[in-house]
């Protein structure tokens, strides 16, 4: 059943419907283009209204337009995330490819600290893609990991910054306890 589900998910990805799970239904690239277009429009209108207000107002408007969106995640991320029945989960996530190409893959290794050796390591690999929005934040950038090999389940991470990802629950919401769920780029 798990294999059939993985093939079905890959089929959806290959047809370009990978964003169907996102609340807005927009791909990351569409959202990024729209976001940049809105920034340019806002900057243009601010500059026009700032002409009569002096150079300081015009400089402020151009600074607002220059605020770049976060770069898509890539590279190696590591950290120890919270665990309810162990001392922590040492996690290493390697992301390759970019949202623009069709070869977006990941590998992940999780070591459950304090578990018996035969049950302490979980690995997997598969495809990743970005989606826009979750219930808490319609502008959030959500990294979705779809495993095709190994022992991992579908996982979601919030892109906090260019160098930090935060594990989300299965409903793409933040985990509501005080443990650490962030991994950071090396």
Which residue, chain included where needed, has tokens 């990294």?
143
pLDDT at res. 119 = 81
Q: d(Cα 173, Cα 27) in Å, to the nearest integer?
A: 19
pLDDT at res. 56 = 46
pTM: 0.65
What is the pLDDT averaged over residues 58-74? Answer: 56
Q: What is the CATH number of domain 75-185?
A: 2.40.128.640
Question: What pairing do the DSSP bridges indicate for beta strands 155-161 and 164-168?
Answer: antiparallel
In degrees and rounded to multiples of 5, residue 109 shows phi and psi of: -130, 130
Mean pLDDT for the chain overall? 76
Per-residue pLDDT band at 75 (split at 50, 70, 90): very high
Whether 162 shows a pLDDT value over 80: the answer reads yes
Beta bridge partners of 128: 145
pLDDT at res. 51 = 47
- 8-57 residue pLDDT tens: 444 444 333 333 334 344 455 555 556 556 555 555 554 444 444 444 44
pLDDT at res. 11 = 42
pLDDT at res. 19 = 38
Instruction: Sketch the domain layout of the chain as residue ranges.
Output: 75-185
- 91-131 residue pLDDT tens: 999 999 977 777 899 999 999 999 988 889 999 999 999 99
């Amino acid at each position: 059943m798990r294999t059939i589900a993985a093939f079905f998910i890959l089929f959806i990805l290959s047809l370009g419907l990978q964003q169907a799970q996102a609340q807005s239904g927009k791909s990351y690239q569409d959202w990024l283009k729209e976001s940049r277009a809105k920034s340019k429009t806002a900057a243009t209108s601010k500059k026009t209204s700032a002409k009569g207000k002096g150079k300081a107002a015009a400089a402020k408007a151009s600074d607002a337009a220059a605020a770049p969106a976060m770069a898509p995640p890539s590279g190696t991320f590591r950290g120890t995330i919270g665990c309810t029945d162990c001392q922590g989960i040492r996690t290493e996530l390697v992301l390759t490819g970019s949202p623009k190409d069709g070869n977006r893959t990941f590998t992940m290794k999780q070591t459950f600290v304090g578990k018996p050796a035969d049950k302490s390591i979980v690995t997997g690999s598969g495809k990743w893609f970005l989606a826009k929005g979750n219930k808490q934040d319609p502008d959030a950038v959500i990294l979705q990991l779809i495993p095709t090999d190994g022992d991992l389940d579908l996982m979601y991470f919030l892109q906090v910054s260019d160098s930090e990802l935060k594990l989300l629950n299965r409903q793409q919401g933040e985990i509501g306890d005080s443990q650490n769920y962030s991994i950071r780029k090396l």
